[in-house]
Every structure is written in structure tokens, then in C-alpha cells.
Amino acid sequence: MDLQEYPTDADGVLVEPAHGGNGTGVLVLSGSSGRVERDRARLLARAGVSAALTYRWFGGDGRPAAIWEYPLEAFAPAVASLAERCDRVVLLGVSKSAEAFLLYAADDPAVDAVVALAPSHVAWANVGPGPDGALRPQHSSWSRAGRPVPFVPYDDAAEPVGDPPAYAPVYEQSLRTHADLVAAATIPVERFFGDVLLVAGGDERVWPSVGFAQAVRARREALDLPTTLVTHPAAGHRVVLPGEPVAAGGQPMARGGTEAADRALGERAWPEIRRVLELP
């Protein structure tokens, strides 16, 4: 399928099929790598969505330097732009952007569905330093209406395991250490009434996303909200969709899985992603 690409600010690109799509617009963002998801946006446009928008959501010109009290309202212009040109808006995020999108969707009626790859069920502390260049004291990753979103801090006594480091044990220990803060930090996914698709690998080493996703699903299913969870026991943090290259870059860390298993998870998730995007 022929595509048309239009550059946007923050090193971004809006990708559209040359001959029109199905009326769905997708905001596609990376996790803490800060990568611009051009390949994924092109894949979705080739599949038939009307528009796929991606950009460098932090670390670029005019954007926050790190995920430190990042204003959730910063996603609103991109969502509004898609809503103006499309009939439906879907948010597709991975890891930290999945965490953000689950938080954001509850407050923007323009969002019709969320696809959350390797998600979290709670808001976490900052990734990267604040404006003063310091990592500590810990702050929320997110803010809403100028106020920090309640969050779970990292347990500084917990250590990643192995080389390259696996951080999942740090997240697990932090949840135990700060158990009294988990309820307030839990993402209110029950306030979003649209479709939520969760995708997670069982060999995840970055954070325990299957358990996180199960917590999201349980909270929503208690209210009969449309929620689907797709997993693969041997896949890791990366979800590789059919036809995608394996993403490079990001912080050196253990992500778990293998390329074959990560691709198998992507193959398993793809029909559900197409369903959420209302693709034939």
C-alpha cells in the first residue's frame, strides 16, 4: 500500500494511506527509549488505519527532558489532531507510554481504545532526572493539572539482577516495600469505558508486565468493561508485530524472551490489535 508521510514537530511523522483508511487514527509512542516509532506507524497505516502519528514524546526540542512529573496533558494536542481527521482514536503505547496512556484515557472522551504493550497497573517514580539534574528525591513520572500523580517509589535497597541487569526484581521489591502506597498509585482503569487490549510476555525481565496486566484486567472485568489480555510464556518485554524489525536502542538491560518468542507474541496479538483498530 502506498503511504503519505508528513513531518511533525518533535522529530515526528504522520503516516496515512495514500488512498484513505478505515476511519481510525492511532497515536503510537515508544517506552522509555524515547524512540520515534516510524516503523510501527507505517505498519499500521499499511494495515489500513486512516492515520498513525508518532513523535519523540520526551527528550526532544520543546518536550520534557525526562519522564519526571511529565504532564499527561501534553498528549492532548496529538489526540485532538487525530480526532479532527478520524472517526475514532486509539492509543498504542509500550511500557512507560502504556502506563501513561492508561492514565490519560480516563480523562479524555476523545479516546476510543487503548492498546497497552508491556503495561503497568500503577504509576511509578521518575525515569530520568528532574529539572535540577537530580534523580533523588523521587518524584512521580506523571502530573495531571499541575499536580503529581500518586506513585510507587523505587526501593533503593533493591538491586537489579545479572548482566545486563534485569530490573523486574526491583519493581517487585518496590511494590512490597511501599505496599501502603499501591492503592493510591493504582491507575484508575475502571474510569475508561472504551476497549483495552493488554499484551505481555511471560519471560519479561524489565518489569513483571503479565502480573501488572492481570491486575488491570481484574480491575476492569469487575465492572464488565471490555478488556482483553494476550500473553506468550516465552516472550519478553518487546512485542514484535508481524512485518516489524526488532527495535534497537534503549538503555542496556535484560528484556527477556527471544526474537522468535517476541515475534510469536506479536503474531498472537495482531488479530486482537486489528479488532481494536476495526480493521477487516
The alpha-helical segments, DSSP class H, found in 186-223 are: 209-221
What pLDDT sits at residue 10?
Answer: 79
d(CA 238, CA 241) in angstroms, rounded, equals: 10
Q: What is the mean pLDDT of residues 65-70?
A: 97
Q: How confident is the model at residue 251 (pLDDT cuts 50, 70, 90)?
A: confident
Long-range interactions of 72-76: CB distance < 8 A, separation 24+: 72/100, 72/103, 72/104, 72/107, 72/142, 72/143, 72/144, 72/149, 73/144, 73/145, 75/27, 75/100, 75/101, 75/104, 76/108
Give 63's pLDDT tier (boundaries 50, 70, 90).
confident
Q: What structural domains and CATH numbers belong to the chain?
A: 3-276 (3.40.50.1820)
Give yes or no for a cis peptide into 77 (omega within 30° of 0): no
Quick check: pTM over 0.85? yes
- Mean of pLDDT values over 198-209: 98
Degrees to nearest 5, angle at CA 94 with 123 and 170:
50
Q: How confident is the model at residue 118 (pLDDT cuts 50, 70, 90)?
A: very high
Please write the tens of the pLDDT for every residue from 135-151.
999 999 999 999 999 99
The average confidence (pLDDT) of the chain is: 97
pLDDT of 40 > 90? The answer is: yes
| Across 117-142, average pLDDT | 98
pLDDT at 61: 78
Q: Is the pLDDT of residue 222 over 90?
A: yes
Task: Answer whether residue 249 shows pLDDT above 70.
Answer: no
Q: For residue 264, what is its C-alpha cell?
A: 510469536
Q: Between residues 249 and 251, which one has the greater pLDDT?
A: 251
What H or E segment, with its residue span, contains residue 185?
helix 179-185
Query: Would you state the pLDDT for residue 75?
Result: 98
Beta strands 24-29; 51-54: pairing state:
parallel
Using DSSP's 3-state secondary structure scheme, residue 53 falls into strand
Check pLDDT > 70 for residue 133: yes
